[in-house]
Structure 1
Amino acid sequence: MKINEEPFYKEIGKEVAIFDASYEQKLPVLLKGPTGTGKSRFVEYMAWKLGKELITVACHEETSSTDLIGRFILKGTEAVWQDGPLTQAVKKGAIIYLDEVAEARPDIVVAIHSLTDYRRTLFLDKLGEEIKAENGFMLVASFNPGYQKGFKELKPSTRQRFVAMSFEYPRQEIEIEIIKQETGIDQNTAKALVKIAEKIRNLGELGLTETVSTRLLVDAAKMIKTEVGKRLAVEVAIVQPLTDDEEILNTLKNLTQLMI
């Protein structure tokens, strides 16, 4: 996919310069951080900035190396090879983004190893071929190191093949600006939503698997702009997606209703 219009992205640190340098030096990049902190939007922005085609793969527990590399498919009575997204990116010199790579099967890590070092080569075992990556090819992956800790982790030997950047929730003023830019909501409402997020993020005793992401705040702001009302918008766009535990839900409902 070629991104023709500039995606809105608010730089928080030196991530743009680091990505630019990694691209120039043909180094793979790993983005670490919680869900909804802008990792995917950042990759889209950088693909637009560099004028590169972007191929995104949303990894899950069933994603295998075959899904990435390719497979034989039947066309009539003939078996025809079909390139997977990784093979396409290698041949085109595109950016490939493996979103939540730790969720995928372990054989994916094996498949990408030869692309993350000086070889920049993809091995197609089923064809008995190897493909040298075209100039401009870049491998970008993301994962959430805090999610189900101990179960969905990347091995140190894999992490050390990447230039790595950590993404966290933006500072208050930046998060407010993001919400306003994305939704057109007013300053006071955006500020109230950010304060709700900060309060919930600091409630570690609730034991939430995931906390309030910037994405949820944007969703809440969009709902507020409709006719459902602020409190209901916050409940359905922020509180309900966080948990199914009735006690925690009631705690969050009571808390947010006092703040909006």
Structure 2
Amino acid sequence: MSQITQTSQKIDIRPLFGLGHVPSPVYLDGYAEPGPDTPEGSADYVWQRGHIQDMVTFFRSGEIALQAIGHAGTGKSSFIEEFHNRLNLPLYTYNAHPRTEAGDLIGKYAPTPSGGLVFVFGPVARAAMEGRSVLIDEYNVIDPGEATGLNALLEGRSVFIPEIGDWIRPKPGFRIFTTINPRTVGYVGRNTQDAANDDRFRFMYFDYMPEDQEISLIKSVLLSAGMKDEATAISTATCYREVAAAVRKAYMGVSDDAAALDVTLSTRSLVRWAKYAMACAGVSNSGFGPVHYALERSKTLKASPETRMAIHEMVHQVFGEEYRTPLTQSLTA
């Protein structure tokens, strides 16, 4: 069912976001059913109340632009997607890159199969004309001069398109979401956007999941993957979280130490690592360590040798498992 033909309705969001403690209904506009552009959601998603409060006040404010700031893997994009999923709202997504131009976002001519040209609206223009949301990931890799081309739309104002001789007039419901990483040494190719562009955003900050929630999530992952004993799952999940905390503290996006690590461990990485370690338990029969083996294949093989060894030493200290994998065997052969 196309959401363009649906009629929005007031939805009490308390059951959607685990807000049973709130005594009175909290209403936002949404749809009764998902549409083709509703993002996928996860039943296991863990909501942060502060994030929900920020998003609700933004939706009610009448403002157009919200920027989510946080380190890699802190859940900026997934939160925006999950929020729209629960309300069955459509969301266009654009992954920015250093060559992104204003025309990619608003619209430009594109070749046709017959050799002609046709004007194609970009995701921001489409969202504006249809009264939908659009998410621009990695917004601060865009050249500042190109990003200023969005300034009028960031305020919900109309924009004239010379190529078609007409105006884009944003409809109610139009919102622009962007994600950026902090302006620290750990991120390459990030730009400081024009002050006038920045001034048009409301901001949200994302950090890693609280310790107790992350341990609970990893515990559930381990039990779902076949670990039988809950106490063992809790202690093992605590070890995963301890390694993650140490890696995050040493990550160059946070630490300016000369030996800072060039990768970090997101919650998403932890889930992948824990699942794969359970699946790789059989490698112990070959004398390898399944926790190290899984971490290599889910994260550290792409890191520098120095970073890889430093992270696996953390794993050794926490789990007590020797770093023995086919890679270490080949390096010592």
TM-score tier (shorter): 0.7 to 0.9
Q: Note if 1:54 corresponds to 2:91.
A: yes
Deviations 1:71-108 (A, max 9, x none): 22333254222221112111121110001100123344
CA distance in 1, matches of 2:307, 2:86: 42
User: Structure 1 residue 222: deviation in Å?
Assistant: 2.2
5+ long unaligned stretches in structure 2: 1-36, 226-232, 284-289, 320-333
Taking the aligned partners of 2:219 and 2:95, their CA distance within structure 1 comes to 27
Give the TM-score of the pair, scaled to structure 2.
0.70
* Unaligned segments of structure 1, at least 5 residues: none
Q: State the 1:163 CA deviation.
A: 0.9
- Equivalence for 1:193: 240
**1:4–1:58 CA distance, 2 compared to 1 (3 A):** closer
Alpha carbons of 1:125 and 1:222: their partners in 2 closer, same or farther (altered >3 Å)?
Answer: farther
- 8 Å CA contact retained: 1:86, 1:96: yes
Residue 107 of structure 2: aligned partner:
70
Task: Give the aligned partner of residue 235 of structure 1.
Answer: 296
The structure number with the bigger radius of gyration is: 2
- 1:92 maps to 130
Q: CA deviation at 1:140?
A: 0.4
1:73/1:156 CA distance change after superposition, 3 Å: closer
- Paired residue for 1:20, among 47, 56, 77? 56
**Greater Cα shift, 20-29 or 132-141:** 20-29
Code of the aligned partner of 1:192: C
2:247–2:261 CA contact under 8 A, matched in 1: no
Cα RMSD after superposing both structures: 2.4
Please give the secondary structure, in 2, of the residue aligned with 1:212: coil
Distance 1:220 1:150, change over 3 A: closer
> Is 2:309 the partner of 1:250?
yes
Number of equivalences: 257
| Of 152, 161, 168, the match for 2:191 | 152
Which moves more between the two structures, 130-139 or 219-228?
Answer: 219-228
1:6 and 1:48 in contact (8 A); partners too: no
The percentage of counterpart residues that share the same residue type is 24
- Higher relative contact order by CA 8 Å / sep ≥ 6: 1 or 2? 1
Query: Matches of 2:197 and 2:128 in 1, distance apart?
Result: 20
Deviation at 1:19, TM superposition (A): 1.1
Equivalent position amino acid for 1:196 in 2: V
Asked whether the 8 Å contact 1:180–1:190 carries over to 2, the reply is: yes
Alignment of 1:27-42 (within 5 A): 27=63, 28-42=65-79
- What is the match of residue 105 of structure 1? 143
Question: Partner letter of residue 250 of structure 1?
Answer: M
The residue matched to 1:45 in structure 2 has which SS? helix
